[in-house]
């Protein structure tokens, strides 16, 4: 007769026939949820504490179970050990694997651990712990990248470059100001991730399969031990919620988009046509055919990675669409997309080191910022200060630019006589108003590229990054309750 002992399954009592062998292999999740070993052990230890408080386990049994769980984590926690978890011959999933190993170590006591819980709540808890830990890694990575940007900005000092709109030169800005634009993106991304963490930081343990545990468990025990803010409020929602995975992946899409924008600009700026940046050799490769080449492989790969992240988010959205409450096997398919974004912390660490190693061609950037009538806005502002309405000032300076183009000079190359044919308001003080420094400093507003504003922005960004680097995701969301 077919029975549980023969099958090794956690659920086989109701079944007479074994699973189709191909289907059994196809539906096993151990081949990817092995990544949740540490989270499964932590959640199981917390559940043991709750069972002890409810009188289901004695104190000595609880101590023995927790020690055995620690031993399983120690034995299989290395990379080689986790490979053994993944390749286990009979375990259906990470929950089954841990139970099998417990029974091997401590016998029937290992079977008592599953009292009062369901795999539905286990996986919901494990995934929340995993995503929360990944968020902490990504936030640390964003802080590292932002720090590298700030250090480059400080090193750039008063170096100037053109800014661009429509990929055409627009106005001169401090190099530091351009770098700080990416710091702002990184800080927003970190804030989004912390916001996501605050919503996922509730503990599903005690939710049972769908209706709640059948034992009088104090759910706050497990929640507190695992660093969650509180238990989840509804057992049906807790076991079927994967919003946090979708929100996490959508938020990582922003990270990928911002890294991609940075990578694209660096790739452009490193071309001979721009010549603003020298690529670090440690992050570049050559051509197998053309001996002179130094290719921007890191930035090109970073530019592409957002596609993987967004693809994972889209996959989860489609997996969750139209699912009835509560748990459905479809939800197993949300795990691999979540795991597939695990490369993001490493990518951020690489881009931080790459950013720190960049060398800027200040002379080339400065020259580019002085050519192409990038002081035209400052010239119009000069006329505004003379009482000319901006629309009229814009027209007058536009005509002056057209004359300068015809003569092959910059605006400051026109004589006062030539300028006054467009308006009597032009005076000798015009030339001082359109120097490079004056053009920068006329943007003297919060968020502008004026020297003093950028210096203050650098100090403020450094303070925010320091606070972010000291952020503990679990503690921060717990403290915010």
A 10 A CB-CB count for 71 gives 15
78 DSSP assignment: S
CA angle 352, 357, 363 (to 5 degrees): 125
Angle between helices 297-320 and 344-357 in degrees, nearest 10: 160
Full pLDDT tens readout for the chain, 481 residues: 334 443 466 656 667 778 788 888 788 999 999 999 999 999 999 999 999 999 999 999 999 999 999 999 999 999 999 999 999 999 999 999 999 999 999 999 999 999 999 999 999 999 999 999 999 999 999 999 999 999 999 999 999 999 999 999 999 999 999 999 999 999 999 999 999 999 999 999 999 999 999 999 999 999 999 999 999 999 999 999 999 999 999 999 999 999 999 999 999 999 999 999 999 999 999 989 999 999 999 999 999 999 999 999 999 999 999 999 999 999 999 999 999 999 999 999 999 999 999 999 999 999 999 999 999 999 999 999 999 999 999 999 999 999 999 999 999 999 999 999 999 999 999 999 999 999 999 999 999 999 999 999 999 999 999 998 887 777 665 443 3
Catalytic one of 166, 207, 340, 451: 166
Nearest C-alpha neighbor of 41 from the set 98, 97, 82: 98
Residues whose CB falls within 8 Å of the CB of residue 158, separated by 6 or more in sequence, listed in order: 174, 451
Residues whose CB falls within 8 Å of the CB of residue 93, separated by 6 or more in sequence, listed in order: 28, 29, 30, 33, 119, 123
Q: Contact, 373 vs 404, CB < 8 A?
A: yes
Pairing of strands 359-360, 277-278: antiparallel
Q: Contact, 267 vs 299, CB < 8 A?
A: yes
The secondary element (H helix, E strand) that includes residue 203 is strand 202-203
**CA-CA distance, 182 to 76, in Å (whole number)?**
40
Residues whose CB falls within 8 Å of the CB of residue 337, separated by 6 or more in sequence, listed in order: 245, 249, 311, 312, 313, 315, 316
pLDDT score of 20: 80
Catalytic one of 287, 340, 443, 478: 287
Please provide the CATH number assigned to the domain covering 4-115: 1.10.275.10
- Tokens at 111, concatenated: 């079977």
pLDDT score of 25: 79
Pairing of strands 168-174, 160-165: antiparallel
pLDDT score of 473: 79
- Tokens at 462, concatenated: 């450094």
pLDDT score of 1: 33
Which CATH number applies to 368-459: 3.40.50.720, 1.20.810.10, 3.30.360.10, 1.10.40.30?
Answer: 1.10.40.30
**CA-CA distance, 132 to 339, in Å (whole number)?**
13
- Could you identify the residue written with the tokens 């409020």? 233
166 is catalytic: yes
pLDDT score of 11: 55
What is the domain partition of the chain in residue ranges?
4-115, 120-366, 368-459
pLDDT score of 476: 60
Angle between helices 59-76 and 37-53 in degrees, nearest 10: 180
CA angle 175, 349, 270 (to 5 degrees): 40
- Could you identify the residue written with the tokens 């570049």? 284
**CA-CA distance, 173 to 154, in Å (whole number)?**
14
478 is catalytic: no
Partner residues linked to 169 by β-bridges? 164
Which CATH number applies to 120-366: 3.40.630.10, 1.20.200.10, 2.40.30.170, 3.30.565.10?
Answer: 1.20.200.10
């Amino acid at each position: 007769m077919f029975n549980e002992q023969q099958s090794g399954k956690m659920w086989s009592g109701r079944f007479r026939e074994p699973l189709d062998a191909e289907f059994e292999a196809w539906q096993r999740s151990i081949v990817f949820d092995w990544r949740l070993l540490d989270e499964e052990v932590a959640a199981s230890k917390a559940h043991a504490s709750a069972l002890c408080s409810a009188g289901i386990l004695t104190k000595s049994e609880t101590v023995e179970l927790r020690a055995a769980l620690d031993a399983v984590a120690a034995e299989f926690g290395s990379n080689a050990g986790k490979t053994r978890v993944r390749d286990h011959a009979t375990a259906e999933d990470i929950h089954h694997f841990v139970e099998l190993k417990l029974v091997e170590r401590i016998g029937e006591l290992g079977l008592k651990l599953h009292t009062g819980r369901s795999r539905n709540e286990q996986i919901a808890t494990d995934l929340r712990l995993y995503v929360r830990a990944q968020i902490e890694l990504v936030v640390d990575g964003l802080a590292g990248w932002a720090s590298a940007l700030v250090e480059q900005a400080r090193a750039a000092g008063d170096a100037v470059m053109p800014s661009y709109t429509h990929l055409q030169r627009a106005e001169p800005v401090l190099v530091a100001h351009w770098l700080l634009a990416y710091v702002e993106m990184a800080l927003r991304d970190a804030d989004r991730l912390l916001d996501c963490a605050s919503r996922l930081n509730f503990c599903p343990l005690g939710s049972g399969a769908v209706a709640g545990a059948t034992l009088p468990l104090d759910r706050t025990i497990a929640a507190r031990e695992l660093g969650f803010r509180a238990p989840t409020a509804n057992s049906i929602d807790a076991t079927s919620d994967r919003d946090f995975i979708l929100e996490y992946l959508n938020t990582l899409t922003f990270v990928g988009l911002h890294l991609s924008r940075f990578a694209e600009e660096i790739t452009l700026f490193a071309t001979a046509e721009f010549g603003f940046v020298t690529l670090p050799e440690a992050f570049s490769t050559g051509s197998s055919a053309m001996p002179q080449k130094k290719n921007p492989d890191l930035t090109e790969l970073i530019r592409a990675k957002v596609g993987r992240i967004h693809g994972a988010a889209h996959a989860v959205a489609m997996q969750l669409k139209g699912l009835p409450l509560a748990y459905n096997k479809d939800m197993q398919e949300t795990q691999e997309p979540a795991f597939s974004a695990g490369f993001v912390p490493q990518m951020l660490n690489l881009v931080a080191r790459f950013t720190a190693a960049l060398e800027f061609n200040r002379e080339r950037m400065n020259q580019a910022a002085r050519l192409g009538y990038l002081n035209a806005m400052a010239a119009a502002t000069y006329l505004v200060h003379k009482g000319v309405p901006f629309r009229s000032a814009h027209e007058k300076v536009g005509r002056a630019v057209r004359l300068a183009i015809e003569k092959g000079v910059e605006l400051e190359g026109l004589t006062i006589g030539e300028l006054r044919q467009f308006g009597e308001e032009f005076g000798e003080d015009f030339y001082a108003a359109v120097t490079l420094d004056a053009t920068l400093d006329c943007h003297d507003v919060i968020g502008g590229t004026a020297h003093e504003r950028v210096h203050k922005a650098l100090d403020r960004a450094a303070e925010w990054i320091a606070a972010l680097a000291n952020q503990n995701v679990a503690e921060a969301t717990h403290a915010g309750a």
